[in-house]
Chain A
Amino acid sequence: MPPSYANLLQGTLDLLILQALSLGELHGLGVSRRIEQITRGTFQVKPGSLFPALHRLEEAGWLASSWGASENNRRAKYYRLTAAGRRQLETEAGEWRRVSLAISLALQAT
């Protein structure tokens, strides 16, 4: 079992969702699978965190949604990045890189 990140920081989750959607539109399960894939299984996002986050990001105007047919021909709600979302992704990614670099440096300093 991969470690459970119950207290996954909200900002991190938002960043992961935005990143997951940067390659194209996905439905809820798709987002969760893509995150699993791009984090090589480190993060498994539970629906209880995923859906509130998706709705929150949509309300913030960073995601847009539309109804479409899924791979097995079911109706599903697809999310995609808006222009504002793409800008937000860049900002947050930059922020994250700075923070993670700083923390890596701190940890190497022994």
Chain B
Amino acid sequence: MPFLPRVRSLWRNLAHAGQVERELDDELRAYVDLLAAEKEKAGMTPDDARRAARLEAGGVDQLKESVRDAHAGAAVESTLQDLRYGVRLLTRAPGFAALVVLTIALGIGANSAIFSVINAVVRKPLGYPQSDRLMFITSQFPTLGFDKFWVSPPEFFEYRERTRAFADVAAYTTGAVNLSEGTQPERVNAVFATANMFGVLGVPPRLGRAFTAEQDLPNAEPVVVLSHELWQRTFGGDPSAVGRQVEIGGRKTTVVGVAPPAFDLHDARAQVWMPLGLDPANRQNRGSHFLYLVGRLAPGATPERANGELLTMLRQWGQLNPNTHVPNDSTHRIQMAPLRDEVIGNVRVALWVLQGAVALVLLIACANVANLLLARAEARHKEFAVRTALGAGRGRILRQFVAEGIVVAALGAALGLALAYWGLKALLAANPESIPRAAEIGLDPAVLAFTVGVAVLTSVIFGLAPLLHVQQDVVASAIKEGDARSTTTAARNRVRHGLVIAEIALAVMLVTGAGLLLRSFNNLTSVDAGFDPENLATFGVVLPQATYPDGQQRVRFMTDLMRRLEEIPGVENAAAVQGLPPVRQVNANDTEFEGVPQEPGSPPQNVDFYQTVTPDYFTTLGIKIVEGRGFTPADAGGPPVFIVNEALAKRFYPGKSAIGRRMKPFGIDTVPWATIVGVARDVKQAGLEAEVGTELYFNYEQAPAYVGFAPGQMNVVLKSTRPLAALAPAIRQAVAAGDPGLPVVELRTMEAVFGDSVTRQRFLSQLLGIFAAVALVLAAVGTYGILSYMVTQRRREIGIRMALGAGYGQVIRLVLGHGLVMAAVGVGLGIVGALALSRVTRSLLYGVSPLDPLTFAVAASVITVVALAASLVPTRRATRVDPLVAIRAD
């Protein structure tokens, strides 16, 4: 058959169905008229002729139907008809329809939401050309327990010069700088990178260009590449911004380029890209690890080859440079991993757990809908019987079921997508920075395709479920008996009960999982961080190198600021600290301990966290000094002193007192010894869930004289019972009084700091909690549905029993017992399932065993109670059965 005319008529038949139909009508009427005229001419009376013509033509409607079947697109037409019929049936039972659509929407919505996260975070490649060629290179100190540590500049230069497997290797570090364009200073995230970073990533700036190797040398004129977002905000997207100057850290800095939109590196949320300013000629400071490396594999090179080359280099590094601190293959490794794996990090497991959870929710939803449709198919028993008797083939009825399934699934999917979109938006807004690449999450063709796929699958599943019912003996049983309450229902009941038991089991698995995560989260939030975050407020302040070049100047500014802050009514204490607990990055510094011999062959002795604090720090945060004393104002002009944490004292002076011992920081000979005067309680530094590392406190007021340097980037902590909102204006005033050009950044309560540090765990437990709640509700609805159905079905039996003298107690036992048995079997299976899954969830838990008996017990009892509650209404209905009415009903 020719193709083109066929397509033309398909279009005509579908698009102009009305006209096609009218013409067919006219044509057939004309035919009958002509036939009648012919017969009249042959001598019949007009009436007889007409009747005979009609008879000969056969029913005009059947005739039309047969022509329609010949038309192109006949299958489409009849499918549309099925769909229309499906919609009509659903509108006739709006309550049922709403229940089914909502159930599916919950199931599909949850799946689309999680899939859209997985799609953006795990599935999509990073936004760089050929991003699979990018490797992330870090160092590793196995004996110190540091995985993914920084690389020092000399190591970077040596690696970059000697590697053949990489086309190029770039280095970067992250930080924050004060930027002002106009009057208002603000704090922006910065990536300090080598000049070749843009080239390695393969993304040139959108406007202008990246900084050059010359601009990346120490003491070069400062230049910056702005992020697209910052350029839009501060320059209104004006292309002439390139070449203009902004003030960064107190220095006039020339804008040389603007990055493309959403350009970032490892979730640094970079707003400015600045030269790292390393001197390639300087190969000193080997212990100063602060760089991450990103390399692009050379054309033809494989990651395996790059890794092999690296291993060889590690073995030879010592010969290249017989220094104490060169990389080697035992204690100071260099390692690489695909940049993508690095960015996604450990969130992958969490996301797959969530995807598993929502798949369970969808299964429960499907089981529920299947049960609802089964019950309804039972009610429509006669309709199908009649249709079958009238000649509708099984195929036709099957198509009808699937069509209804499609209507329901389509509505559910649409609603589910909306739920997913808004729900996810709300959750991400409530938990910013909880997952990497969050900005890329959204509805895209992949998510839509996934949703459609899930919808089609579900529609087929529960569209076909009622067939279990129609399959056998439809006509026979329905027409003969006139009802469905015959013994043949036993098999169907088994299916139905099986579905509910499965629902309960799946709900147990979800609730147990959610319970375990919730307990982990609770454990995390109630972890003893070494101090109480209550009544503490904090903000960051940065003294730029340009305006505060001198350490003493910085100390003066901070001391004055603390005094002004303490003058604010309601503020008890104020202190400044370099690295804000409970989460900061390890800065691991080589440190010499007097009288503690260095073990031969192991790397230099090292302290995890160097910390610099103003003297009131311990008082302000309420950190107990367990031995010796804290810092005093008198220390300012005195000999250098340290306070160490308990972990350090225990590690380097086990079983002895640390007080009076001497240490030499930074592993630099020119720095004099300082004496430990106090031991402070351990304070969490590497996150609430992590072990406390060793920590060494410098006195900020001593720092300039002692090490010739005072950090300019400090966090201020205030103790006050007044609410933060009431304090904020006075705080800003106090800072502005010292320097109106300094922004007050991240002013928040310490509790908020704690909250932010567990945002991912909170996000996970919230999501899983929601899914578990949905599962519970669905399982409850399912239990309720099946028991109600059972009571209706066994009305007569109950009536007879009651007539024979059964009391309420027996009737209650009958129904409630039924519910309990289902709940018990479901809970049992669910626990087995949850145990089987414990291996997966283990890595996500904190302070709770994946086999935690309490959580299992609570989950099991919650489900049992819910199932019981769902059984109550049907039970009540059963006790109200009037024996007379029930028996007479048939």
Contact = CB atoms under 8 A, between A and B. Distances in A.
A74 B37 CA distance: 10
Interface string B39-69: 0000000000000000011100011001101
Contacts of A72: 34, 37
Tell me which of B5, B26, B38 has the highest count of chain A C-beta atoms within 10 A of its own C-beta: B5
Given A48-B58, A48-B63, A51-B66, A76 B30 contact: yes
B773 interface: no
B33 interface: yes
A59 B26 contact: no
Tell me which of B31, B35, B58, B66 has the highest count of chain A C-beta atoms within 10 A of its own C-beta: B31
B225 to A, nearest CB: 63
A41 interface: no
Contacts of B28: 47, 51
A46 interface: yes
Interface residues of B, number: 29
A47 B58 contact: yes
B281 interface: no
Given A47-B57, A77-B23, A59 B71 contact: yes
Contacts of A52: 66-67, 69-70
Contacts of B34: 27-29, 70, 72, 74, 76
B9 A74 contact: no
B72 interface: yes
A38 interface: no
Interface string A46-70: 1110011101101111000000001
A51 B34 CA distance: 15
Contacts of A70: 30, 34
Contacts of A55: 24, 67, 70-71
Given A29-B34, A72-B37, A77 B26 contact: yes
Nearest to B38: A29
A59 B6 contact: yes
Contacts of A46: 58
A101 interface: no
A60 B38 contact: no
Given A59-B72, A60-B1, A77 B6 contact: no
Q: Place the interface of chain A in its size category.
A: 20 to 34
Main secondary structure of the interface of A (DSSP, over half): helix
B2 interface: yes
B6 A48 contact: no
Given A48-B62, A74-B30, A59 B67 contact: no
B27 interface: yes
A84 interface: yes
Nearest to B57: A47
A61 B12 CA distance: 13
A98 interface: no
B26 A51 contact: no
B5 A59 contact: yes
A80 B272 CA distance: 76
B27 A28 contact: yes
A29 B39 CA distance: 12
A61 B33 CA distance: 27
Contacts of A56: 70
Contacts of A60: 1-2, 5-6
Contact of A51 (B37, B38, B56, B67): B67
A42 to B, nearest CB: 18
Given A27-B34, A70-B34, A61 B5 contact: yes
B792 to A, nearest CB: 47
Nearest to A70: B34
A46 to B, nearest CB: 7
A31 to B, nearest CB: 10
B70 A48 contact: no
Tell me which of A27, A48, A55, A56 has the highest count of chain B C-beta atoms within 10 A of its own C-beta: A55
Contacts of B31: 27-29, 47, 51, 76
Contacts of A77: 23, 26-27, 30
Contacts of A29: 31, 34-35, 38
Tell me which of A28, A47, A70, A72 has the highest count of chain B C-beta atoms within 10 A of its own C-beta: A47
Contacts of B24: 55
A70 B41 CA distance: 15
A70 B37 CA distance: 11
A55 B66 CA distance: 10
A51 B27 contact: yes
B303 to A, nearest CB: 59
A48 B58 CA distance: 8
A48 B72 CA distance: 17
Nearest to A46: B58
B726 to A, nearest CB: 80
Nearest to B34: A29
Nearest to B4: A61
Contacts of A75: 26, 30
A52 B58 CA distance: 14
A51 B23 contact: no
Contacts of A74: 30, 33-34, 37
A52 B66 CA distance: 6
Tell me which of A58, A59, A84 has the highest count of chain B C-beta atoms within 10 A of its own C-beta: A59
Nearest to B10: A59
A84 B27 contact: no
Given A52-B70, A74-B34, A47 B26 contact: no
A46 B37 CA distance: 17
A35 B723 CA distance: 99
Contacts of B38: 29
B1 to A, nearest CB: 5
A55 B24 CA distance: 10
A103 B301 CA distance: 72
Nearest to B23: A77
Nearest to B35: A29
Nearest to B73: A59
Contacts of B37: 72, 74
B63 A47 contact: yes
A61 B27 CA distance: 19
A28 B56 CA distance: 14
A84 B4 CA distance: 13
Contacts of B71: 55, 59
A74 B58 CA distance: 21
A47 B4 CA distance: 27
Nearest to A30: B34
Nearest to A61: B5
Contacts of B23: 77
Nearest to B56: A47
Interface string B55-95: 01110001100110111100000000000000000000000
Interface in B461-494: none
Interface in A66-97: 70, 72, 74-77, 84
A28 to B, nearest CB: 5
Given A27-B34, A47-B31, A52-B70, A61 B57 contact: no
Nearest to A75: B30
A75 B71 CA distance: 23
A77 B34 CA distance: 11
A65 to B, nearest CB: 9
Nearest to B37: A72
A56 B70 CA distance: 6
B776 to A, nearest CB: 56
A53 B6 CA distance: 14
22 contacts: A28-B27, A29-B31, A29-B34, A47-B57, A48-B58, A51-B27, A51-B28, A51-B63, A52-B66, A52-B69, A53-B70, A55-B67, A55-B70, A59-B72, A61-B2, A61-B6, A70-B30, A72-B34, A75-B26, A75-B30, A76-B30, A84-B2
Interface of A: 27-29, 46-48, 51-53, 55-56, 58-61, 70, 72, 74-77, 84
Given A48-B63, A51-B63, A55-B70, 8 more contacts: A47-B58, A51-B67, A52-B67, A56-B70, A59-B5, A59-B9, A59-B71, A60-B1
User: Which 7 A-B residue pairings sit nearest by Cβ, starting from the closest?
Assistant: A61-B5, A52-B70, A59-B9, A76-B30, A77-B27, A29-B34, A56-B70
